[in-house]
Amino acid sequence: MILVYEYMPDGTLADHLYKKNEKSVLLSWEQRLNICIGVAHGFVAAISQSDTPDIASVKGTRGYMDPHYRETRGLSPKTDGYALGVVLLEVLGGRRQFDPDAPDGQKRLVLRAEKCIRERAPNSIVDLGLRGSLANDG
């Protein structure tokens, strides 16, 4: 397997989300929304083309892998949907899926998001730089 990365003169999405270099700028809500829509379109196309159930082994990064798959090794469209959801949380929150420097209970983004939803405080998952700039219907 080969991964090909396109050269991006102003840096990658990760560079901007995690402010990795001096060119990094805060992405606006509209920019993030457009990124998420583009990712979702690519995701839908990938799912509709993947009708081959014979997979020798699944490779992936632990924080993006569906917990159901980790427990059962059973694949479904939800397996990829979970990974997409983690990426969307990263874009919304401007945080990595795992942050070893975060306080206890906030290291894993998915667990933090679940807690925010349970506590009916979904806005607390939003990137600090965006807070106050989102419309209520956003």
Contact present, 128 and 26 (Cβ < 8 Å): no
127 is catalytic: no
- The 3 state secondary structure assigned to 61-116 is CHHHCCHHHHHHCCCCHHHHHHHHHHHHHHHHHCCCCECCCCCCCCCEHHHHHHHH
Tokens of 20: 């990795």
Please tell me which residue in 51, 54, 104, 137 is annotated as part of the active site. 51
Known catalytic residues? 51
